[in-house]
C-alpha cells in the first residue's frame, strides 16, 4: 500500500494539536470543536487500519520503513500486529469521549485578576498524547519507540499539573500544591524508568548492531545473534523496569493514585485507559520478543508481583474515602491481572491479557467519566459527601452502576471474558497463582458495591437533592461505552479474532506451548 496509513493515523492528531493550540484565545468553543473533529478523523483512520489488517496474514502489516539516523542504525519503522491494531483502535476510540467529557474542564476561571486554564492548551495536549501513544503502538524500531515512550510524559505532566481537578476540600491553594506534587511524582517515576530503559536500549545496540525489532528477532531465531545469558537478563530488566513503572506494577505504582486523584476525570481516563497500556503492550512486544529466555527466567518473580498488585490494589480500594483514588487502586489490581496473563505464557492468558487491555480501557472510561460528572455537580471527591443520588439522578446512578459492575467483571459485561481467560491461562500452568488471584474478584465486588451503596442509595443528602441528571452531551459520552461493554461482553469475537494470531506468534517467540490438559477429551 503506497499511502502511509500508520503514519497518517499518528500524524493527524499531532497536526490537530498544533492547529488547536493556534486557535485565538477568544475562540475557545472553536478550539473544542476543532479538537473533536481531529479526534473523530483519527478514529476513522484507526478503523481503516483495523479493516485493512488481515489476521491470517503477515505478523506485521501496513509496514513503513525509512532511513533516519544511518550512523546508528536507527530507522523510522512502523508496523502493527493484531495486538497493536486493537490498542490503536482503543486509543482512537476513547479520545473523542475524553474530549467531550472534558468540554468545560478547561474553561478559564476568574481568580482575583488572573485568568488561567487556557482551553486551547488542554485539548491540544490531549491530541499530542494521542499521537505519541499511537506511534508507540506502531513503532517496530526500538529507538523510535523509546522516543515516544518518553515524549508522552511532557504533555501528561502539564495535563496533570496545569489542568487538575477543581474539587478539593481544602481550597484552591491546597489543590494547586497537590496537583504540582502529583505531576512531579508522575514525571520523576517515569523518567527514572525511562533512563534505565535508555541504558538497556544502548546495550541492545551494542549487542545487536541495530534497533529493528524484526531484524533482531530474526537474528535470534536463526542463531546469528548470540546474546550471553547474563547480558540478556540485564537488558530485559532494563526494559521491564520502565514498562512496570508505566503499567503500573507493585511496588512501582505509587505515582498513579496521586496522578488520578489530582487530574480531571477525562485526564485520569487518559492516564489509566490509554497511556498506561503502553507499558503492558511493550511487555508483549519487546520483552518477550527480544529477550525470550530472560522473560522465562524472570517469570516466577513477575507472577508474584502481579498477584501482589491484584490483592494489594483491591484491598486498598476497599478502604478509600476518595472516589478517584478508589478507581486508581482498582486499576492497579486490574493491571496485575493483565501482567499475570502475559507472563502465564499460555495462549488463553495472553489473549485474555490483550482483551483485558481493551476492556479495562472501556470500563474504566465509563466508570471514571460518570464519576467525573458526579463530582462536578457536587464539587467533592469524598464518598461520604454523597448519598441517595439514584433518587434524584437515576440515569447517572444507572450508568455508574453499569461501569461499576463492569469493573467487578460481572458476567455479560466485557471485562468478565478477559478476566476469565487470564485466570484459565494462569490455572493451566500455575494453579496456586491462579487461586490466589481469584480473591481479587471477591475484593472487586466488595469495593464496587460498597462505593455504589454509599453514594447512590440511602437517604438523599441535602447537598445532592437538587442534583441534575445526565445532560445530552454526557449521555453521548456514556451511552456508547455502555453499549460496547455489553456487546463485547456477549460477543468478544471481533477482538479475539484479531489478537489470537499475534498471541500465538508471541508464544512461539518464547518457545512455549499450552500445557496439555490433565484429562483428555473423549474421542
Are 386 and 454 in contact, with CB atoms under 8 Å apart? yes
238-268: per-residue pLDDT in tens?
999 999 999 889 898 888 998 888 888 899 9
pLDDT (mean) for 373-393:
87
- What confidence category does residue 121 fall into, taking pLDDT thresholds of 50, 70 and 90? confident
Among the listed residues 191, 291, 205, the one whose alpha carbon sits nearest the alpha carbon of residue 240: 291
Residue in 206, 141, 169 with CA at minimum distance from that of residue 382: 169
On whether the CB atoms of residues 441 and 408 are closer than 8 A, the answer is yes
Note the pLDDT of residue 114: 46
What does the pLDDT average to over 304-322?
92
Among 64-68, 123-127, 259-263, 457-461, the range with the most confident prediction by mean pLDDT is 123-127
| pLDDT of 161 higher than 50 | yes
State mean pLDDT over 104-123.
66
Residue 208 confidence (pLDDT) above 90: no
DSSP per position, 33-72? HHHHHHHHHHHHHHHHHHHH--TTS-SSEEEEEEEEEGGG
User: Which pLDDT band, with edges at 50, 70 and 90, does 520 fall under?
Assistant: low
For residue range 420-438, list pLDDT tens digits in order.
999 998 988 889 998 999 9
pLDDT at 486 over 90: yes
Question: What was the pLDDT predicted at 163?
Answer: 80
| All cell numbers assigned to 398 | 444507572
CA end-to-end span of the chain = 46
Assign 86 a pLDDT band (cuts: 50, 70, 90).
very high
Find the mean pLDDT for residues 74-83: 89
Check if the beta carbon of residue 106 is closer than 8 Å to that of residue 121.
yes
Cell of 428: 493451566
Paired strand residues for 65? 77
Q: How far apart are CA 137 and CA 503, in angstroms?
A: 15
Report whether pLDDT(340) > 90: yes
Q: Note the pLDDT tens digit of each residue in 17-29.
A: 999 988 887 788 8
pLDDT given at position 83: 92
Q: Are 141 and 212 in contact (CB under 8 A)?
A: yes
Pairing mode, strands 74-80 and 109-111: unpaired
**Contact residues for 31 (Cβ-Cβ < 8 A; gap 6+):** 20, 23, 119, 120, 123, 124
Q: What is the mean pLDDT of residues 148-159?
A: 91
Mean pLDDT of all residues in 329-355? 92
Residue 319 pLDDT exceeds 70? yes
DSSP assignments along 325-377, one per residue? HHHHHHHHHHHHHHHHHHHTTSHHHHHHHHHHHHHHHHHHHHHHHHHHHHHHH
Rounded CA-CA distance 363/367 in Å is 6
- Kindly tell me if the per-residue pLDDT of 168 is higher than 60: no
Q: Which of 76, 19, 84 is nearest to 58 (CA)?
A: 84
Give the separation between CA 31 and CA 19, rounded to whole angstroms.
8
CB 243 within 8 A of CB 282: yes
Cα–Cα–Cα angle for 447, 448, 451, rounded to 5 degrees: 85
How many residues are recorded in the chain? Answer: 523
pLDDT at 33 over 60: yes
Tell me: pLDDT of 71 over 80: no
Q: Domain for residue 151, yes or no?
A: yes
Average pLDDT of span 274-296: 90
Percent of the chain residues past pLDDT 90, beyond the cut: 51
Q: Would 518 be classed as within a structural domain?
A: no
Q: How confident is the model at residue 112 (pLDDT cuts 50, 70, 90)?
A: very low
Residue 449 CB contacts under 8 Å (≥ 6 apart), including other chains:
404, 408
Coil, strand or helix at 68 = strand
**If you average pLDDT over residues 141-159, what whole number do you get?**
91
Please report the pLDDT score of residue 110 as a whole number.
54
For residue 172, is pLDDT > 80?
no
Cα separation, 32 vs 16, whole angstroms: 11
Band of residue 523 on the pLDDT scale cut at 50, 70, 90? low
140 with 81: CB under 8 angstroms?
no
Q: How many whole angstroms separate alpha carbon 453 and alpha carbon 154? A: 38
- Report the run of H or E that residue 63 belongs to, with start and end: strand 61-69
Full domain range(s) for residue 31: 5-509
Examine the pLDDT at 409 and tell me if it is beyond 80.
Answer: yes
Q: Report yes or no: 327 and 363 within 8 Å, Cβ to Cβ.
A: no
223 has pLDDT over 90: no
Q: Which of 181, 355, 142 is nearest to 263 (CA)?
A: 181
What nine digits make up the cell of 317? 480500594
Give me the number of domains the chain comprises.
1
Cβ(368)–Cβ(269) under 8 Å? Answer: yes
Report how far residue 407's alpha carbon sits from residue 363's, in angstroms, rounded to the nearest whole number.
6
- Name the residue with higher pLDDT: 439 or 507: 439
Tell me what the mean pLDDT of segment 114-127 comes to: 77
**Per-residue confidence at 115, pLDDT binned at 50, 70, 90?**
very low
- Secondary structure class of 139 (helix, strand, coil): strand
Q: Which distant-in-sequence residues (6+ apart) come within 8 Å of 466 by Cβ?
A: 392
Determine, yes or no, domain membership for 317.
yes
**The pLDDT of residue 173:** 67
Average pLDDT over the chain, rounded to an integer: 87
pLDDT on residue 89:
94
Amino acid at each position: 500500500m503506497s499511502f502511509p496509513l500508520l503514519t497518517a493515523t499518528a500524524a493527524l492528531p499531532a497536526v490537530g494539536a498544533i492547529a488547536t493550540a493556534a486557535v485565538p484565545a477568544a475562540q475557545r468553543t472553536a478550539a473544542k470543536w476543532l479538537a473533536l473533529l481531529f479526534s473523530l478523523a483519527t478514529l476513522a483512520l484507526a478503523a481503516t487500519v483495523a479493516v485493512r489488517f488481515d489476521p491470517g496474514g503477515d505478523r506485521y502489516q501496513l509496514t513503513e520503513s525509512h532511513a533516519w539516523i544511518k550512523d546508528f542504525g536507527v530507522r523510522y519503522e512502523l508496523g502493527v500486529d493484531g495486538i497493536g491494531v486493537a490498542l490503536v483502535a482503543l486509543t482512537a476510540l476513547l479520545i473523542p469521549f475524553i474530549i467531550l467529557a472534558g468540554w468545560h474542564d478547561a474553561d478559564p476561571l476568574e481568580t482575583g485578576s488572573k485568568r488561567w486554564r487556557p482551553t486551547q492548551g488542554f485539548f491540544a495536549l490531549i491530541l499530542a498524547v494521542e499521537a505519541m501513544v499511537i506511534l508507540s503502538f506502531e513503532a517496530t524500531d526500538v529507538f523510535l519507540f523509546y522516543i515516544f515512550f518518553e515524549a508522552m510524559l511532557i504533555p501528561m505532566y502539564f495535563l496533570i499539573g496545569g489542568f487538575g481537578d477543581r474539587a478539593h476540600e481544602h481550597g484552591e491553594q491546597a489543590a494547586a500544591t497537590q496537583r504540582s506534587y502529583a505531576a512531579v511524582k508522575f514525571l520523576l517515576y517515569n523518567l527514572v524508568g525511562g533512563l534505565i530503559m535508555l541504558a538497556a536500549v544502548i546495550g541492545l545496540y551494542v549487542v545487536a548492531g541495530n534497533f529493528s525489532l524484526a531484524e533482531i528477532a530474526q537474528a535470534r531465531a536463526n542463531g546469528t545473534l548470540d546474546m550471553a545469558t547474563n547480558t540478556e537478563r540485564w537488558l530485559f530488566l532494563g526494559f521491564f523496569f520502565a514498562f512496570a513503572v508505566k503499567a503500573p506494577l507493585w511496588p512501582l505504582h505509587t505515582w498513579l493514585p496521586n496522578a488520578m486523584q489530582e487530574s480531571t476525570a477525562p485526564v485520569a481516563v487518559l492516564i489509566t485507559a490509554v497511556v498506561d497500556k503502553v507499558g503492558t503492550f511493550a511487555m508483549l512486544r519487546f520483552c518477550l520478543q527480544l529477550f525470550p529466555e530472560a522473560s522465562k527466567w524472570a517469570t516466577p518473580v513477575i507472577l508474584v508481583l502481579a498477584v501482589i498488585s491484584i490483592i494489594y490494589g483491591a484491598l486498598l480500594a476497599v478502604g478509600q474515602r476518595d472516589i478517584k483514588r478508589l478507581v486508581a487502586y482498582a486499576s492497579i489490581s486490574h493491571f496485575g491481572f493483565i501482567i499475570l496473563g502475559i507472563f502465564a505464557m499460555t495462549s488463553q492468558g495472553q489473549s485474555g491479557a490483550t482483551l483485558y487491555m481493551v476492556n479495562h480501557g472501556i470500563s474504566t472510561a465509563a466508570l471514571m467519566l460518570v464519576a467525573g460528572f458526579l463530582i462536578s455537580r457536587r464539587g467533592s471527591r469524598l464518598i461520604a459527601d454523597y448519598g441517595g443520588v439514584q433518587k434524584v439522578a437515576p440515569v447517572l446512578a444507572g450508568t455508574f452502576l453499569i461501569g461499576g459492575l463492569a469493573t467487578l467483571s460481572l458476567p455479560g459485561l466485557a471485562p468478565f471474558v478477559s478476566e476469565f481467560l487470564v485466570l484459565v491461562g494462569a490455572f493451566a500452568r500455575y494453579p496456586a497463582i491462579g487461586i490466589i488471584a481469584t480473591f481479587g474478584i471477591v475484593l472487586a465486588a466488595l469495593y464496587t458495591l460498597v462505593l455504589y451503596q454509599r453514594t447512590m442509595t440511602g437517604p438523599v443528602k441535602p447537598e445532592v437533592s437538587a442534583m441534575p441528571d445526565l445532560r445530552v452531551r454526557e449521555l453521548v459520552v456514556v451511552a456508547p461505552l455502555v453499549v460496547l461493554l455489553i456487546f463485547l461482553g456477549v460477543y468478544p469475537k471481533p477482538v479475539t479474532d484479531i489478537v489470537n494470531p499475534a498471541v500465538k506468534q508471541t508464544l512461539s517467540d518464547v518457545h512455549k506451548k499450552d500445557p496439555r490438559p490433565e484429562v483428555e477429551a473423549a474421542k
